Amino acid sequence: MQASISISSCSSSFAPVAPRFVGPPALSYSIGQHRFFRLRKEAFGFCSLNQPCSIPIHEYRMRNRLPGMKITASVSSNGSPSMGFDYDLVIIGAGVGGHGAALHAVEKGLKTAIIEGDVIGGTCVNRGCVPSKALLAVSGRMRELQDEQHLKALGLRVSESGYDRQAVADHANNLASKIRGNLTNSMKALGVDILTGVGAFVGKQKVKYGKVGFMDTEITAKNIIIATGSVPFVPNGIEVDGRTVFTSDHALKLEWIPDWLAIVGSGYIGLEFSDVYTALGSEVTFVEALDQLMPGFDPEIGKLAQRILVNPRKIDHHVGVFAKKITPAKDGKPVIIELIDAKTKEPKDTLEVDAALIATGRAPFTKGLGLENVNVETQRGFVPVNERMEVLDANGNVVPHVYCIGDANGKMMLAHAASAQGISVVEQVCGRDNVLNHLSVPAACFTHPEISFVGLTEPQAREKAEKEGFEISIAKTSFKANTKALAENEGDGLAKLIYKPDTGEILGVHILGLHAADLIHEASNAMAMGMKVQDIKFAVHAHPTLSEVLDELFKSAKVNVAAAVPQPEAVAV
């Protein structure tokens, strides 16, 4: 086993350090012999190479952290473990969440291992955000080339547009491998131990890993993060054959382009795929259980999205219905989808289509984790956690040293949220209390145009306002008034701000329009930093840029705080 924890693969400027351990030496020492600290130049002044710290460096830092001292960035190789443990931190699952946690942990000097049973990068990189962005890049260009009116308005003439399905699929696949490579290399370069196999709890602070059925390597860790992610959720009654009835996993391979594709679920996954497939020539039918399409979005944004992204396209929809049974195409029959009324459960309709994409959400992947060995019961598969991502046992008490981040805890099923949660956990492990404000985590849907949001939707804000007795106000700006958007001839879109008029606190921002996914960060950063509308109003935006949509938005908000500074007029350049 020791052999497997080999010498870390740091590349340059090594400085051997043999930390002195007070505890049982056998295990720790043998590791210590092979382990190196890599110190960046800026660290030299702080910690002499010849005077190894007498305690593991991360603890040293925690105890001696001086305000303003930039020590944390100084150590970029995997640390040495705490007393009696193989690792300071073991992360089960090398998706975006696990990766983010691992990187931050190494930066903090924790000796870190990551266990991955499938592929590095997890869903996002291999079967999710990343390859879908490649397909959406293609669909966006296809749309531009197919939009004759748009081209004509710009004075462009394109005689013919077409695509090579396999080449498009290859682009997505190549991108995934490239990003996967980047992720793997970044962890290797920092010396994170990548342990191959599936991991499971054996007991307190003890994990085993290996191939399924041969999980016979046991390691101990001071802290353990569960980051096992999720898999596409397929409701009962739906038979997935991977060819005519499939999930996003298969759809991303783009093995064929059906003439008629039913998409079950109109959340952001379904919406993105409708963008891809309609651009490539499919016609799409949405099947949505709730009474409106895109139920997760702010209703106003959802309505506009329907007007821009659904109605003008070759898409129709059935809302308020469940797909009770879906049978794959075979024996000359098409894919058959039996719809029932979502409320009365009465049979409503039957669809016959060429293919069906199941985009009904994602289910946590937490089976076989040995959670019973640490007295944890999953709830609908999710690992229960508190706001600090600390795992809770059956009685609601914190299980010490066990954390769960990302899709597996179900708090916010977004790759970057998982990563942020991971970083928050590492901060706590290092002794700094940290609670991630999920309301400042942005989300985006990469349709053409894009949709993004952060914080509360209008109904959520109104509910909260009523409960807590405060007022809210809404400000809106349109992309039609933005010079850059008009230059692109892409004036469709809306930005919406929900705020407290008395304090200027930003409660939510929603954007539908060109590059909305990139624009949202001004709002999410402001929220994360606690900036008020009246503060951000004075920030200057380059002209002409799309970011002026947000500039206008903040400026149009009416805050009743007695303004200390007179508001400058917007100056036209």
Partner 1 sequence: MTTAITPLKTSFLPSSTAASKQLTSPSTLRGTRRRCGNGVRIQAKIREIFMPALSSTMTEGKVVSWVKSEGDKLSKGESVVVVESDKADMDVETFYDGYLAAIMVDEGGVAPVGSAIALLAESEDEISLAKSKAIDSGSSSDPVESQSQPQATIPEPEAPKVTLVMDSASVSVVSMHPAATAERVVASPYAKKLAKDLKVELRSVVGSGPMGRIVAKDVESAAVNGAPSPAPVANSNVRVSVDAGIELGSTVPFTTMQAAVSRNMVESLAVPTFRVGYTIITDALDQLYKKIKSKGVTMTALLAKATALALVQHPVVNSSCRDGKSFTYNSSINIAVAVSIDGGLITPVLQDADKVDIYSLSRKWKELVDKARAKQLQPNEYNTGTFTLSNLGMFGVDRFDAILPPGTGAIMGVGASQPTVVASKDKRIGIKNQMQVNVTADHRIIYGSDLAVFLQTLAKIIEDPKDLTF
Active site residues: 543
309 scored as a contact of partner 1 (CB under 8 A): no
Structure tokens given for 161: 């547009």
Strand partners, 361: none
- Which lies closer to partner 1 via its Cβ, residue 279 or residue 430? 279
| Of the residues 144, 249, 283, 393, which one makes contact with partner 1 according to CB under 8 A | 283
273 scored as a contact of partner 1 (CB under 8 A): no
228 annotated to bind ligand? yes
Which one, of 521, 527, 535, 522, lies nearest residue 507 by Cα?
A: 527
Q: Rounded to an integer, what distance in angstroms lies between the CA atom of residue 310 and that of residue 307?
A: 6
Segment near partner 1 (CB under 8 A), from 10-18, 26-34, 312-320, 434-442? 312-320
The residues, ordered by sequence, that sit 6+ positions from 167 with a Cβ below 8 Å of its Cβ are none
**Burial bucket for residue 249 (CB in 10 Å: 0-12, 13-18, 19+):** middle
Which one, of 340, 509, 537, 366, lies nearest residue 441 by Cα?
A: 509
414 annotated to bind ligand? yes
- Residue 122: CB minimum distance to partner 1, A: 32
Residue 180 belongs to what H/E stretch?
helix 165-190
Segment near partner 1 (CB under 8 A), from 54-62, 85-93, 330-338, 429-437? 330-338
Q: Rounded to an integer, what distance in angstroms lies between the CA atom of residue 573 and that of residue 560?
A: 29
The residues, ordered by sequence, that sit 6+ positions from 481 with a Cβ below 8 Å of its Cβ are 552
**Dihedrals phi, psi of 372, to nearest 5 degrees:** -65, -25
- Residue 151: CB minimum distance to partner 1, A: 12
| Of the residues 255, 352, 471, 502, which one makes contact with partner 1 according to CB under 8 A | 352
- Which lies closer to partner 1 via its Cβ, residue 105 or residue 262? 262
Which one, of 536, 527, 530, 526, lies nearest residue 557 by Cα?
A: 536
- Residue 282: CB minimum distance to partner 1, A: 9
- Residue 487: CB minimum distance to partner 1, A: 26
Say which DSSP state 95 is in. Answer: B
Q: Rounded to an integer, what distance in angstroms lies between the CA atom of residue 90 and that of residue 385?
A: 18
Segment near partner 1 (CB under 8 A), from 26-34, 230-238, 279-287, 300-308? 279-287
387 scored as a contact of partner 1 (CB under 8 A): no
Amino acid at position 548, single letter: E
413 annotated to bind ligand? yes
Instruction: Answer whether 546's CB lies under 8 Å from 477's CB.
Output: no
Say which DSSP state 517 is in. Answer: H
284 scored as a contact of partner 1 (CB under 8 A): yes
- Which lies closer to partner 1 via its Cβ, residue 149 or residue 236? 149
46 scored as a contact of partner 1 (CB under 8 A): no
314 scored as a contact of partner 1 (CB under 8 A): yes
Segment near partner 1 (CB under 8 A), from 9-17, 108-116, 255-263, 507-515? 255-263
- Which lies closer to partner 1 via its Cβ, residue 278 or residue 366? 278
Which one, of 217, 187, 235, lies nearest residue 342 by Cα?
A: 235
- Which lies closer to partner 1 via its Cβ, residue 279 or residue 443? 279
258 scored as a contact of partner 1 (CB under 8 A): yes
Q: Which residues bind partner 1 (CB under 8 A)?
A: 148, 159, 244, 256, 258-260, 283-285, 314-316, 329-334, 350, 352, 354-355
**Which amino acids are annotated as binding site for NAD(+), given as ranges?**
265-272, 288, 361
